Structure 1
Amino acid sequence: MGTRRSYHDACGAARALDVVGERWALLVVRELLLGPKRFTDLRHGLPAVSANILAQRLTELEDAGVVGRRRLPPPAASAVYELTAWGAELEEIILKLGAWGARSPLPDPNATLSVDSLILSFRTLFQPARSAGLHADVQLDFADDLFHAVVDDGTLRIGRGQATTAQSTICTTPDVLAGVVYQQHSLPDAMRDGSVRITGDQRMGRRFMTLFALPIPAPTAAELSAGR
């Protein structure tokens, strides 16, 4: 930790930024919130970061006690990174930061969304009132990654894993699902061209995709100026 930059400020916010304020650090934490990952998995979720920078951030986060590393037993026998108990406490902060950032008045139209980002956005942007009276067990199948979502009358539980009790399975990609859920892309069109497939309970799968909403964007500088 001696070579890292510091604000040399005793405020808790400054001390937190000393630990996770470097570029990519919080996004590394985000990618680990849903469970341990190998280095190659982290590269896949953060395609814009170089291998050297990612390795450096992981080392810094390990040294700070935010991330731990362990080796899986055979036959996997590969190293995985995971959050420590203290590191996992960042989940609420990251979710709140994500909700705040979702109100950006000038989003980047070309920005990508990792699968973990999408799932965490579901936790953040879930609309309890829309699920009143709904009891749903849904599998999200992203080809090489599975997530299990359970909606129970205003609550949502969602995480990585195969659902043995799923009533509906949605097969798609993160970008396509994000487009349907958040950007009002046509679900019927996506189902016709095969980029979305729903097996099992069709109505449940369709309704699941309506349970999330982006917040109202914050005003732009021009709008603020016009309102004076």
Structure 2
Amino acid sequence: MVGRRKYDDGCAVAHGLDLVGERWALLVVRELLLGPKRFTDLRAGLPGASPDVLSQRLRQLQESGIVRHRRLPPPAGAQVYELTDWGMRLEPIVNGLGRWAGSSPSLPRHAPIGADSLMLSLKALFDPGQAGDVTITAGLRLAGEEFRVTVAGGEIDLARGAAEHPDLVIDTDPATLAALLSGERPLAEAAAAGDLHVTGSLDTARRFLGLFPRPDPAPLPPAAKTG
């Protein structure tokens, strides 16, 4: 980490920002929370980061003990990046930050969002009170990527990969799912337009999507009077 600017502050918050406060660093962590990824997969999830910047952030995160680089066993044999056990402990921090920022009145709600980002937002938005005693296993297919979501006992479990014996499968793209979650687009209309395919009942899909209510935007402070 030679040449990096540091806060030189004994506060643990300042030290945490030394570790993950560089531009793109925490988003690299976000991309790895659901499992290992190849460099090319990370590039796809972070299209705004140049290859050089992404390589630099990965190197810094490895030096800090947050990320490790390894080769998957045969037959895959691919080289991947993954979070260490300590790095995985950033998950509640990332989710908490997303939950807090979801109330921002300036959140760019119509900006593009990646599949992993959208899946992690489900954890941030999940409302145990809405879930009650609901038990649902859902499969989500987003632009060719598969995820499984299980809701039971007022808790949510989410992972990459196909769901076994799901009650519901939603096959769509991240933009459509984001619009469904925000309530900007009715489920039946999106299905009729061919923008998503539901295996299972639409009622079950509506119940599932209702478990992730969007927070109301925080009020902006009154404009300062001039003159």
The TM-score normalised by the length of structure 2 is 0.93
Match of 2:48 in 1: 48
**SS of 1:222 mapped into structure 2:** coil
CA distance in 2, matches of 1:178, 1:76: 32
Unaligned runs of 5+ in 1: none
3-state SS in 2 of match to 1:35: coil
1:202: how far off? 3.3
CA–CA separation in structure 1 for the residues paired with 2:20 and 2:138: 34
How many residues end up aligned between the 2 structures?
Answer: 225
Between stretches 148-157 and 15-24, larger displacement belongs to 148-157
Structure 1 residues 101, 54: CA separation in 2 closer, same or farther (over 3 Å shift)? same
Moved more, 199-208 or 176-185: 199-208
Question: Cα distance, 1:174 vs. partner?
Answer: 1.2
Aligned-pair RMSD on alpha carbons?
1.6
- Asked if residue 158 in structure 1 is aligned to residue 158 in structure 2, the reply is yes
CA contact (8 A) 1:168 1:202 kept: no
Aligned-partner residue type, residue 176 of structure 2 = V
1:109-120 equivalences under 5 Å are 109-120=109-120
AA aligned opposite 2:48: A
The residue that corresponds to 1:192 in the other structure is 192
> 2:218: which partner in 1?
218
1:66 counterpart residue number = 66
Matches of residues 25-174 of structure 1 in structure 2 within 5 Å?
25-174=25-174
> Partner amino acid for 1:150?
T
- Measured in 1, the distance between the counterparts of 2:31 and 2:110 equals 20
Deviation at 1:129, TM superposition (A): 2.1
Counterpart of 1:2 in structure 2 is: 2
Runs of 4 or more above 3 Å deviation: none
Does the aligned pair in 1 maintain the 2:147–2:160 contact within 8 Å? yes
Once the two structures are superposed, residues 107-151 of structure 1 have per-residue CA deviations (whole angstroms, 9 ceiling, x without a partner) of: 224422111111111111111222223211111112421111111
User: Sequence identity, in percent?
Assistant: 45
Give secondary structure in 1 for the equivalent of 2:149.
strand
Cα deviations by residue, 1:14-63 (Å, 9 ceiling, x for unpaired): 11111111000000001101111011111111111111111110011011
Distance 2:104 2:143 in 1: 31
Unaligned runs of 5+ in 2: none
Matched, 1:23 2:23: yes
- The 2-side partners of 1:3 and 1:72 are apart by 32
Per the alignment, in what secondary structure is the counterpart of residue 22 of structure 1? coil
Paired residue secondary structure (2:57) = helix
Other structure's SS at 1:15 match: helix
| CA deviation after TM superposition for structure 1 residue 220, in Å | 1.2
